[in-house]
Structure 1
């Protein structure tokens, strides 16, 4: 996998360099942490209201157990350039159905030599 694509007309795969951080955010959702991504230095603090909305979206989805996605989830998760950041839609998986209809929506910004991550929401697109 190459670096992130800066072309708003192309949906790209999520760059390898972002995957550990995005996986850690998903793991935070799986654990149902009060503050999603807390303690992950490149992740902007997630407001309590957003963390709550993410947990509610999972609860409202049905009687399912969110799990850490397998590596194959990166085959269908996507990143799209929005002019000054990338919007990533990370497919979420459940114990009951494998890949679910839920996605984690995260914006990724260039920040110095690395990247910053902002969690937006969990939802069904």
Structure 2
């Protein structure tokens, strides 16, 4: 028969051990990411002006009464370009306003994609200028 305090500590260790392994995997995947460089042609540009999102929701207080809650989320300006590579792959890249205004459609740009070491997921995409 196993004492209760050993069972409880084993369950506690499992709840600490598994998330720490997952977090370590994510950190290693991002920190050891592979960079892929490519050239592409700008085929389109998009600008989304800054705006605010107003959201209204309801919550219940300790007495069970329903209350309204509002939140405001600010969205800054967003500058994106769409780049087409020689092998017809399309990439949407968020860029700074400086690059947005100095890059024209049909310009050739040098891009970098950072992909995860284990997962191959795209961590970052940017333009070298």
The verdict on a shared fold, with TM-score over 0.5 as the criterion, is: no
Which has more strand, going by share of residues? 2
**Greater Rg over alpha carbons, structure:** 2
TM range (shorter): under 0.3
Q: TM-score, normalised by structure 1?
A: 0.28
Q: TM-score, normalised by structure 2?
A: 0.27
